[in-house]
């Protein structure tokens, strides 16, 4: 067997990311799904067990577009319930990181920094439970080379802690947009406008 | 049980604890504590008048505390021997039982525990198993919700001699349940509690479901499972019958049970794996099929009997496939679930087998053991000179070495199985193994490497696995390099570092260190000791700058003839890839290092010197075995 091919599978990539190591131990008992608050309150089709299955069987596209990948809030209700001690939110985060790395867009919210007002006080870095925010030096229009907060969309779980902590209201949750979303919005705006 | 009690050659010692087991096969000295029953066995006729007279009631553990018993009691009416017992923790000393007993005068409050010592030839351990208490699994609410019960409680509710005379009622309001859920794998197959599968619960859930369905065909019964395991003869047919009877099987481990606090109705939330959808159903009663776990005093028993425990706490058998009945200590056998969870047919077969194995010992005048036992040379054992050591004792998988600080170590020959782990580990060359003495193995090494040693691959093989693998390679006509020279020892644990050094000192081209796969070792933990030593050697040779591949460790089973041939061929390729001059230079460079190592460990083990040791030991043995 070609070892490069093995390392290419989604399961191997997930296993290589801290938190995703125990992926293969899942025996599909469904406890995580039945325990999940998001499944119960928000999205009936949400299913961590299915996502693990998709990762195990290298169904990349299915895993990356699965709502489970993007909706998990890492509340870890499932983690202590799992009889195989799999850190399920760790696996989901790993899949999400891989999805972002491959250019997938988060269909839901992520935190976004308003660089024109950010003062790089670092409060958001401290409160973020997912270590998704870091301070980076970059060139900002009209402000020159300054230090600002930056959000890693692969790690952000859209919990809103940073939003609440920010003193200069420079960070908030918005829908991550790409060209398609902009175009879609533009079209709907044009269509709705009275001629 | 009644039959056993009536058989004149069987003595039943109920309410007796084993305190100490000493000695060895055929000659055990067992100390027993016969606990005071406060009722004289020779006088009690089992009439039960004392129970009727006793005013004290406490929960009956035999009924899973669902029914009371008196302070003067037998746990159940079929108890063998039928002799009553007074529970001193509950007794208020009203002496009404003494009055009720009357002229029989069987009750004796002055009784005390009796400690007796017995000569025992063979021991069968049948201490059984215990049940996992599901209280810590708060998601299932056992202990909080009255209608969540365990399998054993259901067993008593459903028993015509039980607390409710066989009426299954729910504890909260005594109504007969119409909707019942059975949850499998409660505390088993669960890394938070017990990792292993409890073996019989799937069948047990199906059995209970069918029994309840027979009593009340309208009952709606669902079994929640992760996997249903029906591996034995007729079991799958039984599973089919349950499906035919209308029992619902739901694949999905329930995440949570919630309760309506007024009606005490229960709601189970789980994912239905087949539908891929989360479902919630209402039930009147829930039965938790809890895990089988070792007895709470299994650790204590294991130290009393001096038998090891497997991961999980069960008693460890000699060999999982070939000798599942025997303990590693000769003369001690296991029957039933004390060795691992098993169902009734398996326990009965193991019980019969254990009895047969034990009777082999009882019917023998003498007992033969492997001749390859280890022997200590007291002159060299540093423990005898007052130094702290005890390495051999820790190395022995069988507890056959008696180590006391200040005295030289001693091998209890009857317990020794001849793996040679102590021989390999002893840093002072103070132990040797008969038939595999250092002298014998060294002589073989020297002969095998006498001519052109740099071209040879010296293969250390263990008797049980890799030697068998090499054998299979031969009988299967798998071709491998003719430069291989095989050498047999009993276990990879016997492959002393000295022997490897000696091989390289003599200029061996390559050395193979091979043995059983970790779980297959025929000497419990021998392979583990061997593997540790091999890893140590590998590291050291790498540090000394030996070409990688000249020392190789491989675990080859007796069925892996092809692997043996492949490994040898790969080693030959490695040797071929090193230019001859370079190899010779490397051997010459390492020779002083090897000599240094051998010197550090005592002296360069010469055959002559080792022979002196053998002569000495054989004489010692003869003196011991055949007293003059």
What does the domain layout of chain A look like in residue ranges? 3-101, 112-176
Q: What is the mean pLDDT of chain B?
A: 91
Distance from CA of B328 to the nearest CA of A (A): 32
Between CA B81 and CA B567 the distance in angstroms is 62
Query: Do A30 and B277 lie within an 8 Å CB cutoff?
Result: no
Query: Do A31 and B278 lie within an 8 Å CB cutoff?
Result: no
Query: Do B226 and A29 lie within an 8 Å CB cutoff?
Result: yes
Identify the pLDDT of residue A109: 81
Q: Which residues of B touch A68 (CB under 8 A)?
A: none
Tell me which CATH code domain A3-101 carries. Answer: 1.10.1060
Query: Do A34 and B271 lie within an 8 Å CB cutoff?
Result: yes
Distance from CA of B152 to the nearest CA of A (A): 23
Q: How far is CA B129 from the centre of its chain?
A: 13
In chain B, % of residues over pLDDT 90: 71
Interface probe with B: pick from A78, A83, A88, most Cβ of B within 10 Å? A83
Q: Taking each helix axis from N to C terminus, what angle separates A88-101 and A48-56, rounded to the nearest 10 degrees?
A: 60
What value does the mean pLDDT take over residues B596-619?
Answer: 65
B166: left (phi over 0), alpha (psi -120 to 50) or beta: left
What value does the mean pLDDT take over residues A47-76?
Answer: 92
Query: Do A34 and B190 lie within an 8 Å CB cutoff?
Result: no
Q: Which residues of A touch B270 (CB under 8 A)?
A: 30-31, 34
C-alpha distances in angstroms, B530 versus B310, B423, B432, B539? 20, 12, 16, 14
- Provide the whole-model pTM: 0.79
Nearest CA in chain B to A85: B191
Note the ipTM here.
Answer: 0.75
Q: How far is CA B226 from the centre of its chain?
A: 26
Name all domains of chain B by residue range, CATH numbers in brackets: 130-293 (3.50.50.60), 374-433 (3.30.70.20), 438-611 (3.40.50)
pLDDT tens readout for residues B423-463: 999 888 888 888 888 888 888 998 999 999 999 999 999 99
Poorest-confidence range of A3-12, A119-128, B159-168? A3-12
What value does the mean pLDDT take over residues B360-367?
Answer: 90
Q: Which residues of B touch A85 (CB under 8 A)?
A: 191-192
Higher pLDDT, residue B136 or B378: B136
SS (H, E, C) A7-31: HHCHHHHHHHCCCCHHHHHCCCCCH
Residue B8 has pLDDT above 70, yes or no: yes
pLDDT tens readout for residues B499-541: 999 899 999 999 999 999 987 888 888 999 999 999 999 999 9
A30 vs B139, B256, B271: nearest CB = B271
Nearest CA in chain A to B185: A83
C-alpha distances in angstroms, B506 versus B121, B146, B234, B592, B609? 50, 76, 62, 11, 18
The burial of B322, by beta-carbon neighbours within 10 Å (0-12 exposed, 13-18 middle, 19 or more buried), is given as: exposed
Nearest CA in chain A to B189: A83
**Cα dihedral B51, B56, B61, B67 in deg (nearest 10):** 90
Q: Which residues of A touch B277 (CB under 8 A)?
A: 44
Query: Do A31 and B253 lie within an 8 Å CB cutoff?
Result: yes
Residue B114 CB neighbour total at 10 angstroms: 11
Identify the pLDDT of residue B279: 95
Long-range CB contact pairs, A175-181, < 8 A, 24+: A175/A107, A175/A108, A175/A109, A175/A110, A176/A105, A176/A106, A176/A108, A176/A109, A176/A110, A176/A112, A177/A105, A178/A105, A181/A105
pLDDT tens readout for residues B120-163: 999 999 999 999 999 999 999 999 999 999 999 999 999 988 88
C-alpha distances in angstroms, A151 versus A112, A148, A170, B457, B586? 7, 10, 12, 60, 57
Q: Which residues of A touch B185 (CB under 8 A)?
A: 83
Q: What is the mean pLDDT of chain A?
A: 87
Identify the pLDDT of residue A107: 80
What value does the mean pLDDT take over residues B572-595?
Answer: 92
B319: left (phi over 0), alpha (psi -120 to 50) or beta: beta
Nearest CA in chain B to A25: B191
Higher pLDDT, residue B609 or B50: B50
Higher pLDDT, residue A157 or B278: B278
What value does the mean pLDDT take over residues A172-177?
Answer: 73
Q: Which residues of A touch B269 (CB under 8 A)?
A: 34
Poorest-confidence range of A1-15, B222-236, B567-581? A1-15
Poorest-confidence range of B280-289, B295-304, B590-599? B590-599
Distance from CA of A75 to the nearest CA of B (A): 16
Identify the pLDDT of residue A2: 46
What value does the mean pLDDT take over residues B395-409?
Answer: 88
Residue B161 phi/psi, 5° resolution?
A: -95, 5
Task: Show which residues on chain A lie within 8 Å of chain B, measured between beta carbons.
Answer: 27-35, 39-40, 44, 47, 49-50, 80-81, 83-85
3-state secondary structure of B302: helix
Identify the pLDDT of residue B597: 83
Identify the pLDDT of residue B628: 43
Q: Which residues of A touch B276 (CB under 8 A)?
A: 47, 50
User: What is the pLDDT confidence band of residue A55, given thresholds at 50, 70 and 90?
Assistant: very high
User: What is the pLDDT confidence band of residue A179, given thresholds at 50, 70 and 90?
Assistant: low
Which residues contact residue B452 at a Cβ distance below 8 angstroms, ignoring those fewer than 6 apart?
Answer: none
Tell me which CATH code domain A112-176 carries. Answer: 3.30.70.20
Question: Residue B327: which of B358, B369, B299 has the closest Cα?
Answer: B358
What value does the mean pLDDT take over residues A87-99?
Answer: 93
pLDDT tens readout for residues B25-71: 888 999 999 999 999 999 999 999 999 999 999 999 999 999 999 99
Task: Show which residues on chain B lie within 8 Å of chain A, measured between beta carbons.
Answer: 139, 185, 189-192, 226-227, 251-256, 269-273, 276-278
User: What is the pLDDT confidence band of residue A1, given thresholds at 50, 70 and 90?
Assistant: very low
3-state secondary structure of B14: coil
Q: Is residue B243 a contact partner of residue B222, using CB atoms and an 8 Å limit?
A: no
């Amino acid at each position: 067997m070609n070892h490069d091919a093995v390392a290419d599978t989604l399961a191997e990539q997930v296993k290589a990311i801290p938190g995703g190591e125990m992926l293969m131990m899942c025996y599909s008992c469904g406890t995580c799904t039945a325990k999940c608050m998001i499944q119960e309150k928000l999205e009936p089709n949400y299913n961590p067990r299915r996502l693990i299955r998709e990762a195990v069987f290298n169904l990349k596209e299915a895993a990356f577009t699965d709502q489970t990948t993007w909706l998990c809030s890492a509340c870890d209700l499932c983690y202590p319930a799992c009889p195989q001690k799999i850190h399920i939110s760790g696996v989901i985060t790993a899949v999400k990181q891989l999805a972002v790395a491959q250019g997938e867009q988060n269909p839901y919210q992520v935190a976004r920094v308003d660089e024109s007002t950010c003062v790089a006080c670092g409060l958001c870095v401290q409160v973020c439970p997912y270590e998704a925010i870091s301070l980076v030096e970059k060139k900002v229009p009209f402000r020159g080379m300054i230090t600002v907060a930056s959000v890693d969309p692969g790690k952000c779980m859209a919990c809103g802690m940073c939003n609440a902590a920010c003193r200069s209201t420079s960070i908030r949750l918005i829908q991550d947009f790409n060209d398609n979303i902009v175009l879609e919005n533009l079209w709907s705006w044009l269509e709705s406008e009275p001629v | 049980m009644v039959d056993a009690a009536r058989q004149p050659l069987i003595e039943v010692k109920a309410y007796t604890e084993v305190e100490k087991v000493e000695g060895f096969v055929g000659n055990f000295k067992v100390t027993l504590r016969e606990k005071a029953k406060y009722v004289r066995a020779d006088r009690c006729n089992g009439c039960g008048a004392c129970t009727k007279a006793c005013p004290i009631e406490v929960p009956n553990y035999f009924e899973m505390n669902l029914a009371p018993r008196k302070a003067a009691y037998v746990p159940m009416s079929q108890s063998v021997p039928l002799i009553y017992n007074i529970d001193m923790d509950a007794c208020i000393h009203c002496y009404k039982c003494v009055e009720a007993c009357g002229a029989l005068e069987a009750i004796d409050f002055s009784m005390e525990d009796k400690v007796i010592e017995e000569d025992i030839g063979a021991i069968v351990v049948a201490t059984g198993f215990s049940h996992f208490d599901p209280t810590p699994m708060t998601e299932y609410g056992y202990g909080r919700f009255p209608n969540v019960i365990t399998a054993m409680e259901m067993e008593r509710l459903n028993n015509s001699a039980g607390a409710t005379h066989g009426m299954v009622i729910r504890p909260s309001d005594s109504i007969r349940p119409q909707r019942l859920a059975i949850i499998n794998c409660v505390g088993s197959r669960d890394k938070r509690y017990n990792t292993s599968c409890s073996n019989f619960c799937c069948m047990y859930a199906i059995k209970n479901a069918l029994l309840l369905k027979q009593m009340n065909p309208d009952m709606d019964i669902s079994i929640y499972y992760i996997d249903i395991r029906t591996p034995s003869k007729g079991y799958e047919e039984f599973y089919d019958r349950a499906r035919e009877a209308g029992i619902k099987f739901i694949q999905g481990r329930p995440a949570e049970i919630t309760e309506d606090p007024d009606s005490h109705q229960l709601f189970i939330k789980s994912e239905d794996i087949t539908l891929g959808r989360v479902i919630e159903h209402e039930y009147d009663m829930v039965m938790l099929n809890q895990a089988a776990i070792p007895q709470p005093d299994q650790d204590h028993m294991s130290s009393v009997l001096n038998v090891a425990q497997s991961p999980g706490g069960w008693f460890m058998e000699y060999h999982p496939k070939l000798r599942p009945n025997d303990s590693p200590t000769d003369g001690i056998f296991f029957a039933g679930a004390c060795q691992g969870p098993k169902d009734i047919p398996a326990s009965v077969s193991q019980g019969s087998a254990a009895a047969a194995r034990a009777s082999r010992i009882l019917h023998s005048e003498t007992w033969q053991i492997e001749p390859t036992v280890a022997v200590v040379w007291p002159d060299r054992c540093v423990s005898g000179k007052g130094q702290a050591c005890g390495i051999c004792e820790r190395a022995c998988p069988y507890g056959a070495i008696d180590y006391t600080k200040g005295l030289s170590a001693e091998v209890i020959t009857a317990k020794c199985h001849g793996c040679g782990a102590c021989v390999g580990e002893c840093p002072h060359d103070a132990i040797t193994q008969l038939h595999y003495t250092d002298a014998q193995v060294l002589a073989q090494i020297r002969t095998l490497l006498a001519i052109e040693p740099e071209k040879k691959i010296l293969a250390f093989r263990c008797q049980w696995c890799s030697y068998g693998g090499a054998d299979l390679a031969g009988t299967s006509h798998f071709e491998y390099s003719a430069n291989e020279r095989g050498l047999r020892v009993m276990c990879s644990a016997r492959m002393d570092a000295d022997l490897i050094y000696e091989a390289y000192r003599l200029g061996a081209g390559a050395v193979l260190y091979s043995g059983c796969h970790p779980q297959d070792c025929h000497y419990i933990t021998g392979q583990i000791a061997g593997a540790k030593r091999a890893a140590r050697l590998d590291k050291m040779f790498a540090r000394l700058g030996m070409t990688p591949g000249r020392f190789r460790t491989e675990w080859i089973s007796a069925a892996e003839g092809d692997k043996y041939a492949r490994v040898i061929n790969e080693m030959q390729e490695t040797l071929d890839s090193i230019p001859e001059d370079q190899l010779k230079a490397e051997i010459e460079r390492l020779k002083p290092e090897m000599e240094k190592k051998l010197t550090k460990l005592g002296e360069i083990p010469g055959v002559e010197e080792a022979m002196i040791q053998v002569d000495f030991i054989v004489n010692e043995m003869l003196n011991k075995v055949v007293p003059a």
